[in-house]
């Protein structure tokens, strides 16, 4: 487990009611740096915990804080009772403004969510290319303290993994078109392991399946405990990889560049499929040299089956410099972002203009190709103009590229055979608790 010093620990009454769950909580709490007695709470206590006791007060962009501390730790259980909408409304009626995955975690819902990317109803379908799929969740929050991230302040984890994998099996059976399932884009799920004892059973569950895979997205160094698990080749681990300055300055508790690559090496030797996402690429002052050094190291140590690229985006230049110390940024590219505010007003790919992002992608791609002529390299969550510009060079189109966590990017697939936006179907939703 990571070194961890939460300022408070909360446990829902359902956690202490089951000896299995209570034991998981006890192991994690005992491994924390300092002894903190868990506070047992009920649903009725939640409004006061949030409104009066500040449970979510530090759930802000971490780079905007004068000091970043470890998050509050909260243990909860998933509920598969069909009362999600009712309970969401109840929480809103108490004056609580928690929404999305955070709201779900606090109330015990949202184990699975349907992401309708690039389908009707997706507000960003003309400005961000991603794959429609079911996403699966187990935690909400992180300890990595990445300056650009807003998932600090609270780490909520579920503990009833037995119920979870049973319901997950039903989800997988109902959606035969989906081959891979991304576990968590709202948490760093290895941080409490192996003490929590939940990620291991999920990996082992997928190990019992045929042609179905779990994708773990991580920046971790904490992998020694999973090397001997019976994963049977059905777990894909994707490292979000950063060059040295970014990993040390802006992602201070995540693994360093070298630690992430070493963790990937260990996992590859243990039979896991490993991948990398350079995401988000923050153009620091010497980004070209650092990118080249990082690419050299990853190919020296590992053999990934996919590499994806994504620059820092999804916010204005003003918001970026609120979160990141501008003194570290490439001055030419920072100036370009400042001068292109009007040009970038209507795209989610802001703040850097297209030519900046293209230069970053092309440098990474060219350096990768010097070392590996075959590994698929794709763009992650980029827009259509960028795909039109770089797709021919990458050798893919928006509908056939393989990526780090897409629902049909199985190990060592080089190109999708079926149209990514046409085969996806949410299927029967009535039996699944969505976000």
Per-residue model confidence as pLDDT tens digits over 288-317? 999 999 999 999 999 999 999 999 999 999
> Domains (ranges, CATH) in the chain?
9-394 (3.80.30.30)
User: DSSP class of residue 85?
Assistant: H
Please give the mean pLDDT across all residues of the chain.
Answer: 95
Contacts of 286 (CB under 8 A, 6+ apart): 245
Question: What is the value of pTM for the model shown?
Answer: 0.96
368 phi and psi, to 5 degrees? -60, -45
Q: Are 154 and 74 in contact (CB under 8 A)?
A: yes
Does residue 398 contact residue 129 with C-beta atoms inside 8 Å?
yes
pLDDT for residue 435 is more than 50? no
Residue 170 pLDDT class (50, 70, 90 cuts): very high
The DSSP bridge pattern shows strands 112-115 and 154-158 to be unpaired
- 54 pLDDT exceeds 80? yes
CA distance 324 to 155: 23
- DSSP annotation of 81: S
DSSP 226: G
pLDDT of residue 430: 42
Task: Take residue 278 and report the two structure tokens written for it.
Answer: 């350079």
Contact in structure between 321 and 271 (CB atoms under 8 Å): no
Residue 428's pLDDT band (cuts 50, 70, 90): low
Task: Tell me the percentage of the chain whose pLDDT exceeds 90.
Answer: 94
Whether the pLDDT of residue 160 is over 50: the answer is yes
Residue 427 confidence (pLDDT) above 70:
no
Q: Which of 123-132, 293-302, 316-325, 331-340 has the lowest mean pLDDT?
A: 123-132
Among candidate residues 233, 318, 325, 253, the one with its CA nearest the CA of residue 282: 325
Place of tokens 């059905």: 234
Residues 199, 200, 203, CA angle at the centre, nearest 5°?
90
Query: In which residue are the tokens 């980029």 written?
Result: 382
Compute the average pLDDT of residues 51-56. 95
Looking only at the bridges linking them, the beta strands covering 307-311 and 180-183 are unpaired
* CA–CA distance, 353 with 341 (Å, rounded to integer): 9
Q: Identify any residues that bridge with 311 across adjacent strands, giving them in sequence order.
A: 281
């Amino acid at each position: 487990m990571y070194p961890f010093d939460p300022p408070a620990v909360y446990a829902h009454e359902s956690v202490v009611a089951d000896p299995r769950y209570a034991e998981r909580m006890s192991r994690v709490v005992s491994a924390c740096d300092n002894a903190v007695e868990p506070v047992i709470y009920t649903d009725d206590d939640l409004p006061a915990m949030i409104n009066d006791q500040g449970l979510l007060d530090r759930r802000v962009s971490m780079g905007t804080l004068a000091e970043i501390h470890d998050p509050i730790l909260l243990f909860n259980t998933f509920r598969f009772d069909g009362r999600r909408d009712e309970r969401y409304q109840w929480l809103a009626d108490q004056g609580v403004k928690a929404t999305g995955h955070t709201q779900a975690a606090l109330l015990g819902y949202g184990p699975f969510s349907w992401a309708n990317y690039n389908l009707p109803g997706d507000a960003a379908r003309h400005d961000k290319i991603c794959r429609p799929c079911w996403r699966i969740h187990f935690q909400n929050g992180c300890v990595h303290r990445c300056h650009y991230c807003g998932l600090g302040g609270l780490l909520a984890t579920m503990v009833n993994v037995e119920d979870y994998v049973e319901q997950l099996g039903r989800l997988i059976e109902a959606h035969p078109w989906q081959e891979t399932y991304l576990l968590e884009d709202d948490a760093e799920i290895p941080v409490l392991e192996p003490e929590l004892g939940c990620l291991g059973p999920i990996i082992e569950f997928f190990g019992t399946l045929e042609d179905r895979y779990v994708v773990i997205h991580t920046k971790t160094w904490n992998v020694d405990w999973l090397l001997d698990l019976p994963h049977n080749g059905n777990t894909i681990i994707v490292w979000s990889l950063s060059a040295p300055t970014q990993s040390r300055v802006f992602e201070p508790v995540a693994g360093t560049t070298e630690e992430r690559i070493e963790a990937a090496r260990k996992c590859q030797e243990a039979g896991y499929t490993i991948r990398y996402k350079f995401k988000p690429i923050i153009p620091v002052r010497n980004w070209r040299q650092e990118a080249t050094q990082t690419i050299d190291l990853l190919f020296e140590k590992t053999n990934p089956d996919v590499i994806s690229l994504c620059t820092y985006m999804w916010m204005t230049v003003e918001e970026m410099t609120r979160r990141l110390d501008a003194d570290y940024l490439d001055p030419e590219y920072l100036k370009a972002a400042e001068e292109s505010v009007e040009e970038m007003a209507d795209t989610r790919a802001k703040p850097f203009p297209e030519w900046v992002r293209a230069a970053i992608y092309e440098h990474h791609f060219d350096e990768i190709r010097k070392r590996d002529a075959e590994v698929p390299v794709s763009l992650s969550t980029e827009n259509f103009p960028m795909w039109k510009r770089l797709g021919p060079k990458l050798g893919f189109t928006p509908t056939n590229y393989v990526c780090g966590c897409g629902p049909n990017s199985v190990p060592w697939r080089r190109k999708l055979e079926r149209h990514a936006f046409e085969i996806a179907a949410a299927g029967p939703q009535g039996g699944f608790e969505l976000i």
